């Protein structure tokens, strides 16, 4: 299941020139400590494999506004794990209106960063809590506090895997499929999805296959 985890945005503006260009850094996620609102505690090292995969494939997690994949607001320049958590630096595209507004809100301390990910490996801690051991990091969003953080949690908790239309929507959004592709996948499985595709889409299909595997693992552990 596509999961979210929010952390306060500790903004660091490195110099005046970077202030004008929209660059910032901070922790998108921190290790240990109290569980988040979904009962997750993230273990050190949970991001390493995902960051390595992105580096090998030449990809990066998206920078989104409020987890909306139709509203990118910039690019991530670097992501590294340190002893505290996932340290990121990014650059907002200030020619985009929502990015410019986000930057103003960010400087006033009105935003947080929230990661969107598939939970690939987790250890139950009891009382509904989980120690997250491995993450497939899809995106890091800028989100408002506190109302939108609660709204994200409500949306995740309302997910019903027994509702075919809801599951189809989740699969479509998580894999970046069109509505037609998602319906084909739901009705006929993987063979139905790939049978009409051209051979030059093999890399894209391989990425979809890896996402499907992650969804399967996540559903088995939740």
DSSP-derived secondary structure for the chain: -EEEEEEE---B---HHHHHHTEEEEEEEE-SSS--TTSEEEPTTTTHHHHHHHHHHT---EEEETTEEEEEEEEEEEEEE-SSEEEEEEEE-TTSHHHHHHHHHHHTT-EEEEEEEEEEEEEEEETTEEEEEEEEEEEEEEEESSHHHHHHHHHHHT--TT-HHHHHHHHHHHHT--HHHHHHHHHHHHHHHHTTS-GGGHHHHHHHHHHHHHHHHHHHH-
pLDDT for residue 137? 93
For the chain, the maximum distance between any two Cα atoms, rounded to a whole number of angstroms, is: 55
pLDDT at 163: 59
**Domain boundary pick from 157, 185, 212:** 157
Q: Which domain holds residue 144?
A: 2-157
Q: Are residues 152 and 46 in the same domain?
A: yes
Q: Are residues 133 and 201 in the same domain?
A: no
Phi/psi for 181 (5° steps) reads -65, -40
Same domain, 194 and 145: no
- Domain count for the chain, please give it: 2
94 & 177 share domain: no
Two tokens, residue 36 = 């988040």
Q: Which residue is associated with the tokens 């390493």?
A: 48
pLDDT value of residue 103: 86
Q: Indicate if 144 and 170 belong to the same structural domain.
A: no
Query: In this structure, are 100 and 176 located in the same domain?
Result: no
Give yes or no: residues 6 and 110 share one domain: yes
| 79/127 same-domain check | yes
The pTM (predicted TM-score) of the whole model is 0.61
Please check whether residues 107 and 144 belong to one and the same domain: yes
Low-confidence ranges of the chain (pLDDT < 70): 1-20, 145-177, 185-186, 188-222
Predicted pLDDT of residue 14: 42
Residue 114 and residue 151 in one domain: yes
User: Are residues 146 and 40 located together in one domain of the fold?
Assistant: yes
């Amino acid at each position: 299941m596509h999961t979210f985890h929010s952390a306060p945005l500790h903004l660091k503006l490195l110099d005046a020139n970077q202030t004008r260009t929209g660059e910032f850094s901070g922790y998108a996620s921190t290790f240990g400590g109290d569980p988040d609102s979904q009962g997750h505690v993230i273990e050190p090292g949970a991001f390493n494999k995902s960051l390595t995969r992105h580096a090998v494939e030449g990809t990066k997690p998206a920078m989104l506004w409020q987890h909306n994949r139709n509203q990118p607001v910039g690019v991530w320049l670097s992501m590294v794990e340190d002893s505290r958590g996932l340290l990121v630096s990014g650059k907002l595209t200030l020619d985009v209106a929502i990015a410019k507004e986000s930057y103003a809100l960010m400087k006033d301390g009105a935003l947080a960063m929230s990661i969107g990910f598939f939970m690939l490996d987790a250890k139950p801690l009891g009382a509904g809590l989980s120690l997250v051991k491995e993450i497939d990091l899809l995106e890091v969003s800028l989100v408002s506090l506190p109302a939108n953080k609660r709204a994200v949690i409500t949306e995740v908790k309302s997910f019903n895997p027994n509702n075919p239309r809801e599951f189809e929507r989740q699969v479509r959004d998580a894999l970046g499929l069109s509505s037609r592709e998602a319906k084909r996948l739901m009705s006929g499985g993987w063979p139905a999805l790939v049978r009409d595709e051209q051979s030059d889409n093999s890399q894209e299909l391989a990425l979809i296959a890896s996402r499907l595997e992650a969804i399967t693992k996540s559903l088995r552990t939740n």
